[in-house]
């Protein structure tokens, strides 16, 4: 197989990388045999890589033509993608841009908080207008790029909680920025550990639990980030009962901003697909957090996230755990995760607070 150097500006999506791409990093930023996506183009531009070696064999080109179906009204060099909502499209772009920043941190660059804010601010506008979007973030995530999805989602969920708690717009942006950077220290953790699919050893787990310290070091000299937010970044894995890390802090020694990021962190992590488990219903996870995590988090923060479900407008379309489609017709504020729904096919009314077998699997975002 032969290869040729192609300018990044001239790369075609779907081209195959001929060799590992390094950029003053310990590990390749893109591995050999990877198919080029729009996300990779952003990464190449971020690292100012001018040319990329790609495979140019006739065999590969023939296979590409055999498996690619191009509609008559689409040019050959265009990519046909599944239609997305404006939010999903912006979210995908933001995750790709955040991934490029993360690679820079791995290579030793300083955190550019202005760039991070530029990445998350358009999405914050979306979720503050429509809080229901945070309950579908796990639908947009994928296990391979989880760490980048998680950081972006963490900022959005934290922003919604802060907004619902009545914080000022300035503090909402501050907490969202802190949440986006809460795991920036993961860039200093051995990449093999980050990508490991199986159970971590005790030594590997210990290194993972060092990431709040690394994160704190990366943000300590950023003047645009308030000191309270830097503390929140360091404490976001602490728990009221002392079961957290890195210091095992307890009670009032853990700031409320820390709890906002902590609750958002646990909520998103439990709902998302990971290499070792499937994604979980946001509604089911909220019930689990309220029932099993009592005494670990600030109760006001937990109730605030929980109450966001009560804000869902009547008529919101949902999919139940038995795959039936329904609309929400009544929300009891005491049990918002289990509203009364009306089945679309049969018009049957079901009170999910009484029918404990069924639950809402996901919102249908249109």
Query: Which pLDDT tens digit goes with each residue over 167-190?
Result: 999 999 999 999 999 999 999 999
β-strand partners of 354? none
Please say whether the beta carbons of 293 and 262 come within 8 A. no
pTM of the model: 0.78
| Token couple for 257 | 């901003």
CATH code for the domain defined by 3-67: 3.90.105.10
How are the residues of the chain apportioned to helix, strand and coil, as percentages rounded to the nearest 5? 50, 10, 40
pLDDT at 64: 41
pLDDT at 1: 56
Q: How many residues does the chain have?
A: 366
Pairing of strands 360-363, 349-351: unpaired
Give me the half-sphere count of Cα atoms (radius 13 Å) on the Cβ side of residue 3: 14
- CA atoms 255, 259, 265, 270: torsion sign: positive
- Position 165 confidence tier, pLDDT thresholds 50, 70, 90: very high
DSSP 134: G
Burial (CB count within 10 angstroms: exposed 0-12, middle 13-18, buried 19+), residue 82: exposed
Q: What is the mean pLDDT of residues 236-250?
A: 94
Give the start-to-end residue ranges of the domains of the chain: 3-67, 86-309, 312-363
CA–CA separation, 20 vs 137, rounded Å?
31
Pairing of strands 325-330, 340-343: antiparallel
Domain 312-363 grouped into CATH 1.10.3470: no
Q: What is the mean pLDDT of residues 267-278?
A: 83
Domain 86-309 fold: Hypothetical protein af1432 (1.10.3210)
Please give the residue that has the higher pLDDT: either 116 or 21: 116
Q: Hey, do 86-309 and 312-363 end up sharing a CATH topology, with the first three levels equal?
A: no
- Position 326 confidence tier, pLDDT thresholds 50, 70, 90: very high
pLDDT at 366: 67
Query: Which pLDDT tens digit goes with each residue over 74-98?
Result: 343 333 334 478 999 999 999 999 9
């Amino acid at each position: 197989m032969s290869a040729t150097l192609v300018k990044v500006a001239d790369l075609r999506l779907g081209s195959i990388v001929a060799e590992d791409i390094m950029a003053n990093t310990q590990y390749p930023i893109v591995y050999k045999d990877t198919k080029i996506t729009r996300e990779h183009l952003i990464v190449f531009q971020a690292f100012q890589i001018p040319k990329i070696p790609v495979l140019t064999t006739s065999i590969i080109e023939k296979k590409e033509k055999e498996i690619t179906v191009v509609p008559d009204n689409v040019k050959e060099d265009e990519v046909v993608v599944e239609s997305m909502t404006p939010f999903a499209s912006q979210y995908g772009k933001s995750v790709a841009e955040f991934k490029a920043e993360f690679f820079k941190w791995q290579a030793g660059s300083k955190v550019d908080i202005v760039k991070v804010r530029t990445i998350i601010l358009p999405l914050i506008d979306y979720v503050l207008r429509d809080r229901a979007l945070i309950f579908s973030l796990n639908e947009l995530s994928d296990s391979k790029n989880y760490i980048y999805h998680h950081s972006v989602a963490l900022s959005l969920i934290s922003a919604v909680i802060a907004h619902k708690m009545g914080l000022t717009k300035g503090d909402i942006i501050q907490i969202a920025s802190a949440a986006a950077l809460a795991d920036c220290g993961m860039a200093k953790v051995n990449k093999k550990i980050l990508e490991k699919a199986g159970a971590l050893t005790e030594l590997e787990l210990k290194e993972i639990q060092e990431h709040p310290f690394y994160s704190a070091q990366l943000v300590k000299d950023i003047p645009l980030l308030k000191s309270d937010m830097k503390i929140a970044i360091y404490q976001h894995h602490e728990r009221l009962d002392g079961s957290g890390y890195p210091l095992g802090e307890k009670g009032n020694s853990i700031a409320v901003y820390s709890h906002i990021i902590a609750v958002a962190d646990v909520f998103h992590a439990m709902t998302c697909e990971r290499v070792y488990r499937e994604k979980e219903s946001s509604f089911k996870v909220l019930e689990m957090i309220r029932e099993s995590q009592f005494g670990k988090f600030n109760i006001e923060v937990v109730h605030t996230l929980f109450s966001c479900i009560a804000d869902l407008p009547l008529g919101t379309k949902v999919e139940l755990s038995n795959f039936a489609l329904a609309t929400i017709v009544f929300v009891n504020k005491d049990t918002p995760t289990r509203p009364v729904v009306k089945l679309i096919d049969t018009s049957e009314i079901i009170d999910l607070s009484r029918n404990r077998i069924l639950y809402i699997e996901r919102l249908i975002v249109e």
